[in-house]
Amino acid sequence: LLEDDPAASDAARLHSVVLTPKSPWLGRRIGELPLGDDVALTALVRGERRHIGPAPDTILEAADVLVLFGGPRDLERAEAAIA
């Protein structure tokens, strides 16, 4: 994709979100995250371990890195809801 291609700016992509110690989602299950239908959680990175397609019942912890896939606007909305 070319950088000045307007379609490229709306293309789906991967985006990482780090859960801070103040996140309201700590101690809750991945399946409870309000990601919507247009954002997928593709992986969870915890410490040195990467979990591809983590189970919905995985409990979230501070410093977890959520790897999301979706369009730019959807990713922005999802990050605002969970960070």
Q: Which pLDDT belongs to residue 5?
A: 57
pLDDT per residue as tens digits for the range 20-41: 999 999 999 999 999 989 999 9
Q: Please report where in the chains the tokens 């896939």 appear, as a residue.
A: 69
Q: Please report where in the chains the tokens 């501070």 appear, as a residue.
A: 62
The mean pLDDT of 3-32, rounded to a whole number, is 87
Q: Which pLDDT belongs to residue 52?
A: 97
Q: In the structure encoding, which two tokens stand for residue 69, read together?
A: 């896939």
Q: Which residues contact 67 (CB under 8 A, 6 or more apart)?
A: 14, 15, 16, 41, 42, 43, 44, 45
Give the separation between CA 34 and CA 46, rounded to whole angstroms: 20
Cβ(43)–Cβ(68) under 8 Å? no
Whether 6 has a pLDDT exceeding 70, the answer reads no
User: In which band, very low, low, confident or very high, does the pLDDT at 2 lie, cut at 50, 70 and 90?
Assistant: very low
* End-to-end Cα distance, the chain: 29
